[in-house]
Homo-oligomer: A and B are copies of this chain.
Amino acid sequence: MWVSATALAGDLGLSSILVRKDLSCTGLEGRPKYGFEIQPLIEAINISLGWDNTTDAILVGAGNLGTALTGYDGFMQYGLQIVAVFDSDPKKIGRKIHGIEVLNMNKVVDFIERTKIPMAVLTVPAVNAQKIAEKIADAGIRGIWNFAPVKLKLSKNIIIQRMDLASSFAELSSRLKEK
């Protein structure tokens, strides 16, 4: 029924102060000696992080990574719903991956304009990423979750979130060498 910031901190490997500070963003108040009521806390975190109502997204680039992401159940938990997948490879177009048909890349602009879909997951090769990003941004995409190892340059009002395998591995690699 109840969980304390101290307990959460222990499980997460963080300090209890940090947990309390972070939880304060949700607006929820804890009860001294008890901590936080679990159900309202989950609710409040979901709302605070925008996981409460699902965000529809398209996925562009049905390669290995794109396929894996399309099939990743965990996304639903975060309120992310992939509603369409695009690729320019004729061998992939028309095939289904995890129940979603791969559509022709040349339909993506029309699709975005028609559906007003706000978000795109970008899993295309690095060389194509900038051009494709510009295209979907022009069509009206508001946020891009970019898995390509490229810094996208787009107009300021497009929100870009980079998921960077390279720098994560680089960090591990250098920490491993240090020892």
Q: Which A residues are closer than 8 A to B by beta carbons?
A: 11-13, 48-51, 55, 63-65, 67-68, 71-72, 74-75, 78-80, 118-119, 142-143, 145, 149, 151, 153, 157, 159, 161-163, 165-166, 168-177, 179
Contacts and interface: CB of A to CB of B under 8 A. Distances in A.
Contacts of A48: 174
Copies in the complex: 2
A72 B119 CA distance: 24
Given A11-B151, A169-B78, A159 B142 contact: no
A177 to B, nearest CB: 4
A73 to B, nearest CB: 10
B161 A145 contact: no
A145 B159 contact: no
A172 B161 contact: yes
B78 A166 contact: yes
A129 to B, nearest CB: 13
B166 A74 contact: yes
A119 B173 CA distance: 9
Across the A-B interface, the 9 shortest Cβ-Cβ residue pairs: A161-B172, A64-B68, A50-B173, A68-B68, A50-B177, A143-B176, A65-B68, A49-B170, A64-B71
A175 B143 contact: yes
A163 B168 CA distance: 7
